[in-house]
Amino acid sequence: MEVEVKLKLPGREAHEKVASSLKAFHEVTHMQENVFFDGANKELSSKRAVLRLRFYNGDGKCVVTFKGNAVIVDGISRGEELEEDIDVSLGRACVAEPWRLATTTCKLLNKVVADFACEDFVCLGGFRNVRTVFNWEGLKIELDETQYDFGTTYEVECESTDPERVREVLGDFLKSKGIEFTYSTKSKFAVFRSGKIE
């Protein structure tokens, strides 16, 4: 189970204020390319499951992620999440030819194929994300600039086992810096699939 606090920022100016306020705590910045897949007969989406390949910093790393039954309420996201690293060249081959997802030695992909009776896959496309990670007050804060074909969104995320407290701490921090925010109501994948920014 992954539990995350997700706070939506109104635009680039707020994003830059957060980055500036936390710059002394900067840990790393990742350029992420996210590509999503479904079964050819919607075997995953029909059961509220998501399969993603994420490439880091070009071809630096590739991670397979499975997410199931994620729900966001008042800026707190909860859902099943499983991950496994795979060879980048295999990841690229799967993007080019999605049927390869069902023929790999990756344990997580094999589990998805078995659990959802997927014999073939289709690529849904995806989006890019610039993720800046800060280590602040014992929290791993992720500041995202997500670039869709139809626009850009900005968000602060933080994984936690005590999300209500973290939501309050982050909210108080942003307010103290005069940074507006709202609780996120949709995952990035849901925004991508809707084709619009609300």
Per-residue pLDDT tens digits for 17-36: 999 999 999 999 999 999 99
Q: How far is CA 7 from the centre of its chain?
A: 13
pTM: 0.96
Task: Compute the distance between CA of residue 88 and CA of residue 176 in angstroms, rounded to an integer.
Answer: 42
Domain ranges of the chain: 2-193
Q: Is the pLDDT of residue 198 over 90?
A: no
Summarised one tens digit per residue, pLDDT across range 127-156 is: 999 999 999 999 999 999 999 999 999 999
Residue 2 pLDDT class (50, 70, 90 cuts): very high
CATH class of 2-193: mainly beta
24 and 102 in contact (C-beta within 8 Å)?
no
Instruction: For the chain, give the mean pLDDT.
Output: 97
Summarised one tens digit per residue, pLDDT across range 50-60 is: 999 999 999 99
Residue 170 pLDDT class (50, 70, 90 cuts): very high
Who contacts 5 (Cβ-Cβ below 8 Å, separation ≥6)? 75, 76, 77, 156, 157, 158, 159, 160, 163, 166, 167, 170
As given in the structure block, the two tokens for residue 46 are 């029909």
